[in-house]
Amino acid sequence: MAPPLEPDNSVRVWPVRLVIARCQVDYAGRLTAHLPFATRLLIVKADGSVLVHSDDRSYKPLNWMSPPCTLVEGVDRHGEVEWVVEARNGDTLRISIQEIVSDSSYDLGIDPGLQKDGVEKHLQELLAQHPGSLAEGLSLVRREFPTAIGPVDLLCRDIEGASVAVEIKRRGDIEGVEQLTRYLELLNRDPLLSPVRGIFAAQEIRPQARVLAGDRGISCATVDYDALRGMDDPTVRLF
Amino acid sequence: MAPPLEPDNSVRVWPVRLVIARCQVDYAGRLTAHLPFATRLLIVKADGSVLVHSDDRSYKPLNWMSPPCTLVEGVDRHGEVEWVVEARNGDTLRISIQEIVSDSSYDLGIDPGLQKDGVEKHLQELLAQHPGSLAEGLSLVRREFPTAIGPVDLLCRDIEGASVAVEIKRRGDIEGVEQLTRYLELLNRDPLLSPVRGIFAAQEIRPQARVLAGDRGISCATVDYDALRGMDDPTVRLF
DNA sequence: ACGTTGATTTCGTAA
DNA sequence: TTACGAAGTCAACGT
């Protein structure tokens, strides 16, 4: 789908189109699906994708077509307006429109996109740089230490030279403790590493996780993300 | 959020609200995320959920809040309109609105919902009725045959009376073959069943899965869903 | 209410 | 390009 041309042939940003319409929808692709007639919100995005939303069940549309795809507006056998949205692989979305309540378009321009911050990965980088903030005298052996069931976030050594496995989460939940438990069990089979103890590190540790960790002999460390970031970049400390 | 009251105190269906606005968005919950100022589509659904869409990257919103949540419209420290959407668990979505391009609401009413067809469960039902379409003379012993690691989709007997385990997927991938392999290993320990061979059945089988299956001595069967459905309902054959 | 599993998953990253 | 794993996964189903 090429962007629309203005009367003077200038290229304009393809707008997002919002349609409120009474419609029925049929999808044929990986599965077959049908939506009976009802009033819905139809969104045609700049990339050609189409979303069919009801007023609940967020955030997934009732039905949709992912880009790249083409939209052809035509008339069905009942003489009603029909949108046929087709993907390269033959997936087809047919929208029969009985009545249009509203139809408007807007240029949104290019979106700078989402900036994710404070994710596990960044926490891991910061803690790898400052393992001492987890326990006195802790030093890093390796980040993403490989095991057969996946990499351990941090493998460290404590002040007495004993191995310490660290699992890092933004929010410490039971599943994170379970994960660390599995790693510890595996690591402790290695006579070169054993005994390995565990530290569960998170910005926030839920009570249930804390209890489970205690039961497993795993220590918990709440991480001050902002403080760590301050240690990471000395210029921040000036303010 | 209670539905709005009309001047005569009658309760009205809460409408979906569409706003085109230049805004910035901050999310704090499982992660922290930021959207710089740009013009976007904001959708407030009847169930209170909020979606922030750009004009591409369907169908997932750039940012969102799932129900149940509450939206409070206020003013931020810069004197600009700010929506604060908060969930029970403390997750917060802050939308600072610099300029509203459009703001409209519509009553969509209740949606009858999506009717899906062709999912794994339905495939399993159809193949259970017509095991012969997988291999000549195959007959069903039991659907969802229980094992210690979960139920096998179909347990059959071939024309010579030998056991056959069938794993059904819509799209045959490596993990499906692995799953069937685990079942076969377990089933073959049972002297009453052994030897058990495997059939990997799917509407579409990926090359890698086919190779792995061959390597494990598992046969593959691509399933013609429409043909099966035709067999399922005799009236269809009249056309 | 909770856990498990499938999904038209989507989305990122590393190989 | 493909494969693998995580996701603010979501959503349906069984216990």
pLDDT of A39-71, one tens digit each? 999 999 988 899 999 988 789 999 999 988 999
The nearest CA of chain A is from the CA of B195 a distance in Å of: 31
Q: Does residue B209 carry a pLDDT above 80?
A: no
Question: Which residues of B spanning 175-234 put their CB closer than 7 angstroms to strand D?
Answer: 206-208
Q: Does residue B232 carry a pLDDT above 80?
A: no
The residue that minimises its CA distance to C1' of C8 is: A30
Cα gap B75→B82, rounded to integer Å: 5
State the Cα angle at B90 between A54 and A180, rounded to 5°.
105
Instruction: Tell me which nucleotides of strand C come within 7 A of a protein CB.
Output: 5-11
* Mean pLDDT over the full length of chain A: 84
Q: Which of B12, B19, B50, B56 is the best substitution to test chain A (most A C-beta atoms within 10 A)? A: B56
Fold classification of B16-106 (topology level) = Protein Yojf; Chain: A; (2.70.180)
Q: In this structure, is the CB of residue B92 within 7 Å of any atom belonging to strand D?
A: no
Tokens of A164: 């310490």
| Residue of A194, A200, A201, A185 lying closest to A147 (CA atoms) | A185
Give A-chain residues touching B113 at CB under 8 angstroms: 35, 62
Q: Which of B19, B62, B108 is the best substitution to test chain A (most A C-beta atoms within 10 A)? A: B108
* Mean pLDDT over the full length of chain B: 84
- Those residues whose C-beta lies under 8 Å from the C-beta of residue A213, and which sit 6 or more positions away, are A177, A180, A198, A200, A205, A219, A220
Do A35 and A62 contact (CB within 8 A), yes or no?
Answer: yes
B116: nt with nearest C1' to CA:
C8
Residue-level pLDDT at A81: 95
Question: Which residues of A spanning 114-133 put their CB closer than 7 angstroms to strand D?
Answer: 116, 119-120
The nearest CA of chain B is from the CA of A22 a distance in Å of: 9
CA of A49 to C1' of C12 (A): 21
Task: Please give the distance of CA B20 from its chain centroid, rounded to a whole number.
Answer: 29
pLDDT, tens digit, 9 for 90 and up, residues B107-141 = 998 888 888 876 677 788 888 889 999 999 999 99
B66: nt with nearest C1' to CA:
D8
Q: Which residues pair with B7 in a beta bridge?
A: none
Cα gap A60→A48, rounded to integer Å: 17
Place of tokens 């802050």: B94
**What kind and span of H or E run contains A215?**
helix A207-215
Q: Where are the beta strands (DSSP E) in chain B?
A: 16-28, 32-44, 50-53, 63-65, 69-75, 81-87, 92-106, 115-117, 139-145, 152-157, 163-172, 196-205, 219-222
Q: Does residue A84 carry a pLDDT above 50?
A: yes
CB contact under 8 A, B170 and A33: no
Give A-chain residues touching B57 at CB under 8 angstroms: 47
Q: Which of B114, B171, B224 is the best substitution to test chain A (most A C-beta atoms within 10 A)? A: B114
Residue-level pLDDT at A199: 93
Choose which CATH entry (3.40.1350.10, 3.40.50.2300, 2.40.37.10, 3.20.20.80) describes domain A120-238.
3.40.1350.10
Residue-level pLDDT at B85: 94
B63: nt with nearest C1' to CA:
D8
User: Measured between alpha carbons, how far is residue B33 from residues A199, B28, B99, B175 in Å?
Assistant: 27, 7, 21, 33
The 3-state DSSP class for residue A92 equals: strand
Cα gap B149→A204, rounded to integer Å: 34
Do A198 and A163 contact (CB within 8 A), yes or no?
Answer: no
A33: nt with nearest C1' to CA:
C8
High-pLDDT (> 70) share of chain B, %:
89
pLDDT, tens digit, 9 for 90 and up, residues B62-77 = 999 998 899 999 998 8
Residue-level pLDDT at A60: 92
**What's the residue count for chain A?**
239
- Considering only A5-9, A107-111, B73-77, B204-208, which range has the smallest mean pLDDT? A5-9
The answer, for B235 touching chain A at a CB cutoff of 8 Å, is: no
Residue-level pLDDT at A234: 45
B121: nt with nearest C1' to CA:
C6
CB contact under 8 A, A49 and B67: no
Choose which CATH entry (3.30.420.10, 3.10.20.90, 3.40.1350.10, 1.20.1050.40) describes domain B120-234.
3.40.1350.10
CA of A146 to C1' of C14 (A): 15
- Provide Rg for chain A, Cα atoms: 27
High-pLDDT (> 70) share of chain A, %:
89
* Touching B: A residues 171-230, CB under 8 Å: 171
Q: In this structure, is the CB of residue B170 within 7 Å of any atom belonging to strand C?
A: yes
* Sign of the Cα pseudo-torsion (B142, B148, B150, B152, in order): negative
Tokens of B181: 């392999």
Residue-level pLDDT at A235: 44
Q: What is the domain partition of chain B in residue ranges?
A: 16-106, 120-234
A147 versus A4: which is more confidently predicted? Answer: A147
Pairing state of beta strands A219-222 and B16-28? Answer: unpaired
CB contact under 8 A, A58 and B67: yes
Cα gap A163→A192, rounded to integer Å: 10
* Touching B: A residues 76-115, CB under 8 Å: 101-102, 104, 106-115
The nearest CA of chain B is from the CA of A17 a distance in Å of: 9
Residue-level pLDDT at B166: 92
Peptide bond into B207 cis (omega under 30): no
The answer, for A116 touching chain B at a CB cutoff of 8 Å, is: yes
- Considering only A18-32, A76-90, A119-133, A225-239, which range has the smallest mean pLDDT? A225-239
Peptide bond into A195 cis (omega under 30): yes
pLDDT, tens digit, 9 for 90 and up, residues A86-113 = 988 778 999 999 999 999 999 998 888 8
pLDDT, tens digit, 9 for 90 and up, residues A192-236 = 899 999 999 888 787 778 888 888 899 999 888 777 777 765 443
Cα gap B17→B29, rounded to integer Å: 24
What is the band of A122 on the pLDDT scale with cuts at 50, 70, 90?
confident
- Considering only A122-131, B41-50, B125-134, B221-230, which range has the smallest mean pLDDT? B221-230
Cα gap B154→B128, rounded to integer Å: 7
Tokens of A105: 């378009």
What is the number of H-type helices and E-type strands within chain A?
Answer: 4, 13
* Entry pTM: 0.74
Give B-chain residues touching A124 at CB under 8 angstroms: none
Cα Dmax for chain B: 81
Residue-level pLDDT at A8: 53
B162 versus A89: which is more confidently predicted? Answer: B162
What is the band of A32 on the pLDDT scale with cuts at 50, 70, 90?
confident
The torsion angle over the Cα atoms of residues A186, A190, A195 and A199, rounded to 10 degrees, is -40
Residue-level pLDDT at B92: 92
Alpha helices in A50-173 (DSSP H): 120-129
B9 versus A53: which is more confidently predicted? Answer: A53
Q: In this structure, is the CB of residue B119 within 7 Å of any atom belonging to strand D?
A: no
